[in-house]
Amino acid sequence: RLSHDLPVRQHLMARPGVDIAELRTAVSHPMALAQCTRMLEQLGLVAEEAVNTAVAAQALAESEDRSRAVIASQAAAEAWGLNILRHDVHDRKDNFTTFCIVARRNGGMA
């Protein structure tokens, strides 16, 4: 098999002690934000793009901003000491990324 599907689970997280009612902005990678539009609309959060989810989580952990949240993985929450306020906030339950193996063969693409 030349490809592998990896489930992607997105969670809404904030600094410890922050209540979901305090949030105004959700920061994440553009693709993660696009995968969570329903939740953003339901909570009335403004989407703000970051280079990637890990950078967004680190920046939030190092700030004192109680109005910002991050959409990222459970591993990011654990790594940066953030609290998950809502699990599985992606719009589709079958949210996944497909990784493909790409190699050159005889000077061309396989």
Q: Which helix (H) or strand (E) holds 84?
A: strand 83-86
Asked if 99 is an active-site residue, the reply is: yes
Closest CA to 74 of 60, 63, 86: 86
The residue annotated as part of the active site, out of 37, 53, 96, 97, is 97
- Spell 25-44 as b/e; 16+ CB within 10 A means b: ebbbbeebbebbeebbeebe
Asked if 37 is an active-site residue, the reply is: no
The residue annotated as part of the active site, out of 25, 96, 98, 99, is 99
- By annotation, the residues acting in catalysis are 97, 99
